[in-house]
């Protein structure tokens, strides 16, 4: 008998399993709902990296594509850290070509686009990086934090290419998209906005004050008082550098909110 | 300056120094121009070799304008190697004024590094073990963030922001 978690019925707990390729299991009977999408009927077990669940066929395909990238991610970022950027990019291409037939929801395409953008920024190959970061954006973003990450990279690239005004516009557009789950990650973008505004000799738009105050709150500090909003934001980034932001549920408790954002 | 004062005419000199800094901020190579005489250049290079850029410079990321560079604030006066103002774009400038015996030497230091490279290396050291840890346990305990952690994205956030996003990828 195998315990597959508290969400399963007594019947589900009677599933017998067989290891295939050290990862996937065959089953004699199946539970009802896919662990991953929570919608479709589960048709196969999925056991990998601390997950021991049952999933539908669509999600199994999706997870197989995901694992193809993540199983080699350490190798890729190690190559990147050694300055072997072209080798890292080549690995990404190989993974994509070998698994694109599994990538129905484009998770793999988007993730590889993200890593390509990041690697080229890291390599300071800014012209290629701009193309890569824009290609990532063209695939769309599943969550706001990824939109912000892309904007951060693209703004760094545009600034390095001597186009700070475009960089600022990219950041401000991205900050127009919000999700309280990822609020602490706005800190970096706000700092970039402040620095670019200073570089351009202009004031940070006052509309970002409220966001900066909300970010400060997640880090359990007040927004520092500065001569300008840019000064306050830069100081905020400095004083919170080593602080861990409140988890979403802690923050919701502090704010007296019960439900999801 | 005391030893060299007999060899230098009183006045103000501007010395430009280019330093290369390793990933820990230690100066490993110095070149200088504009010194009032070769001995001063040698003296400056020896002094600058003993310098270490403060960690804060790497951590703060790009600072756009030097107060000294745009003329709004005069740099403090101090000993050789004292970092008074810092500009980081992809390079670091510092400006130090040494004044003694009616001789003032303004030293502009350009550190071609590594501010970026050092910051990246430091963040890599922090983020890589967390990526390993994340990839070993991908199940997300909070359904608000989906069933599985996106470890690759968390690693990129970590390298870009300097901290691991624990909501998105909680540590086991």
Q: Best interface-test mutation with A: which of B54, B60, B63, B64 has the largest number of A CBs within 10 A?
A: B64
Task: Look at residue A227 and tell me if it is in a domain.
Answer: no
Task: Look at residue A17 and tell me if it is in a domain.
Answer: yes
Q: What is the pLDDT of residue A6?
A: 37
Q: What is the pLDDT of residue B145?
A: 86
Q: What is the pLDDT of residue A179?
A: 92
- For residue B3, what are its two tokens? 């030893």
Task: Look at residue A221 and tell me if it is in a domain.
Answer: no
pLDDT beyond 50 at A15: no
CB of B110 within 8 Å of a chain A CB? The answer is no
> Which positions in chain A touch B90 (Cβ < 8 Å)?
124, 160
pLDDT beyond 60 at B65: no
What is the rounded distance in angstroms from the CA atom of residue A163 to the CA atom of residue A35? 46
Work out the pLDDT band at B123, boundaries 50, 70, 90: confident
* Mean pLDDT value across residues B101-112: 58
CB of B128 within 8 Å of a chain A CB? The answer is yes
Residue B27, min C-alpha distance to chain A (Å): 22
Task: Look at residue A104 and tell me if it is in a domain.
Answer: no
Task: Look at residue A37 and tell me if it is in a domain.
Answer: yes
Task: Look at residue A225 and tell me if it is in a domain.
Answer: no
B149, B138 Cβ separation under 8 angstroms:
yes
> Which positions in chain A touch B136 (Cβ < 8 Å)?
49-50
Better-scored residue on pLDDT, B112 or A168: A168
Percent of chain B at pLDDT above 90?
16
Counting beta carbons within 10 angstroms of the beta carbon of residue B104, is it exposed (0 to 12), middle (13 to 18) or buried (19 or more)? middle
Residue A243, min C-alpha distance to chain B (Å): 9
A212, A223 Cβ separation under 8 angstroms:
yes
Q: What is the pLDDT of residue A217?
A: 93
Q: β-pairing, A44-48 with A51-55?
A: antiparallel
Q: What is the pLDDT of residue B36?
A: 65
Domain count across chain A: 1
Q: What is the pLDDT of residue A202?
A: 95
What pTM did the predictor assign?
0.69
pLDDT beyond 70 at B28: no
Task: Choose the weakest-confidence range: A36-40, A99-103, A144-148, A201-205.
Answer: A36-40
Cβ pair A81:B124 closer than 8 A: yes
Task: Look at residue A39 and tell me if it is in a domain.
Answer: yes
* Mean pLDDT value across residues A175-196: 94
* Mean pLDDT value across residues B109-127: 71
A45 by DSSP, 3-state: which? strand
> Which positions in chain B touch A77 (Cβ < 8 Å)?
124, 128, 131, 155
Angle between helices A85-99 and A107-122 (to 10 degrees): 170
Residue ranges of alpha helices (H) inside A123-163 are 126-138, 144-160
Better-scored residue on pLDDT, B13 or A13: B13
For residue B77, the cross-strand partners are: B97
Distances (CA, A) of B125 to A73, B128, B161: 16, 6, 14
Question: Nearest by CB to B136, which of A49, A115, A185?
Answer: A49
Q: What is the pLDDT of residue A28?
A: 53
Sign of CA pseudo-dihedral A242, A248, A250, A255: positive
Q: What is the pLDDT of residue A131?
A: 98
Q: Which residue of A has its CA nearest to B91?
A: A160
Percent of chain A at pLDDT above 90?
66
Q: Which domain holds residue A53?
A: 12-60
Select, from the ranges A128-132, A181-185, B70-74, the one with the highest average predicted confidence (pLDDT).
Answer: A128-132
Cβ pair A184:B144 closer than 8 A: no
Cβ pair A149:B157 closer than 8 A: yes
pLDDT beyond 90 at A140: yes
What is the rounded distance in angstroms from the CA atom of residue A43 to the CA atom of residue A27? 9
Task: Look at residue A38 and tell me if it is in a domain.
Answer: yes
DSSP B108: E
Q: Residue A218's CB: how many other CB atoms inside 10 A?
A: 24
Q: Best interface-test mutation with B: which of A157, A248, A249 has the largest number of B CBs within 10 A?
A: A248
Cβ pair B148:A66 closer than 8 A: yes
pLDDT digits (tens, 9 = 90+) for A205-239: 999 999 999 999 999 999 999 999 999 999 999 99
Q: What is the pLDDT of residue B23?
A: 52
> Which positions in chain A touch B131 (Cβ < 8 Å)?
73-74, 77
Cβ pair A114:B152 closer than 8 A: yes
Phi/psi of residue A194, each to 5°? -65, -45
A183, A199 Cβ separation under 8 angstroms:
no
Better-scored residue on pLDDT, B46 or A209: A209
pLDDT digits (tens, 9 = 90+) for B67-85: 333 333 333 333 344 333 3
């Amino acid at each position: 008998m195998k315990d597959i978690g508290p969400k399963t019925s007594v019947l589900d707990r009677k599933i017998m399993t067989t290891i295939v390729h050290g990862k996937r299991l065959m089953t004699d009977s199946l539970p009802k709902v896919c662990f991953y999408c929570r919608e479709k009927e589960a048709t196969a077990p999925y056991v990998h990296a601390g997950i021991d669940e049952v999933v539908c066929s669509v999600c199994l395909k999706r997870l197989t594509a995901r694992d193809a990238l993540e199983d080699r991610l350490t190798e890729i970022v190690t190559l990147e850290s050694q300055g072997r950027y072209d080798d890292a990019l080549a690995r990404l291409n190989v993974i994509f070509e070998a698994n694109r037939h599994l990538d129905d929801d484009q998770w793999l395409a988007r993730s590889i686009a993200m890593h390509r953008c990041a690697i080229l920024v890291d390599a300071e190959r800014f012209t290629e990086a701009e193309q890569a970061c824009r290609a990532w954006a063209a695939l769309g973003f599943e969550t706001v934090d990824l939109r912000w990450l892309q904007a951060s990279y693209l703004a760094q690239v545009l600034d390095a290419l001597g186009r700070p005004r475009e960089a600022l516009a990219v950041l401000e557009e991205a900050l127009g998209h919000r999700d309280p789950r990822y609020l602490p990650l706005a800190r970096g973008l706000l700092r970039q906005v402040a620095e670019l505004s200073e570089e351009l000799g202009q004031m940070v738009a006052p509309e970002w004050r409220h966001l900066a105050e909300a970010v400060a709150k997640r880090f359990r500090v007040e927004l520092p008082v500065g001569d300008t909003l840019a000064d306050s934001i830069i100081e905020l980034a400095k004083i919170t550098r080593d602080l861990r932001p409140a988890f979403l549920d802690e923050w919701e408790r502090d704010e007296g909110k019960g439900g999801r954002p | 300056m005391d030893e060299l004062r007999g060899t230098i005419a009183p006045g103000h000199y501007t010395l430009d120094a280019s330093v290369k800094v390793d990933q820990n901020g230690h100066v490993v190579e110095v070149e200088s121009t504009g010194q009032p005489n070769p001995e001063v250049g040698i003296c400056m290079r020896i002094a600058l070799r003993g310098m270490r850029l403060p960690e804060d410079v790497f951590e703060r990321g790009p600072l756009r304008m030097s107060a000294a560079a745009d003329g709004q604030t005069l740099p403090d006066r101090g000993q050789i190697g004292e970092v008074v103002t810092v500009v980081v774009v992809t390079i670091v400038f510092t400006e130090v004024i040494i004044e003694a015996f009616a001789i003032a030497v303004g030293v502009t230091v350009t550190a071609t590094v590594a501010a970026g490279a050092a910051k990246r290396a430091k963040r890599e050291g922090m983020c890589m073990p967390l990526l390993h840890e994340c990839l070993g346990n991908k199940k997300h305990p909070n359904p608000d963030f989906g069933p599985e952690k996106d470890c690759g994205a968390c690693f990129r956030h970590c390298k870009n922001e300097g901290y691991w996003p624990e909501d998105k990828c909680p540590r086991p």
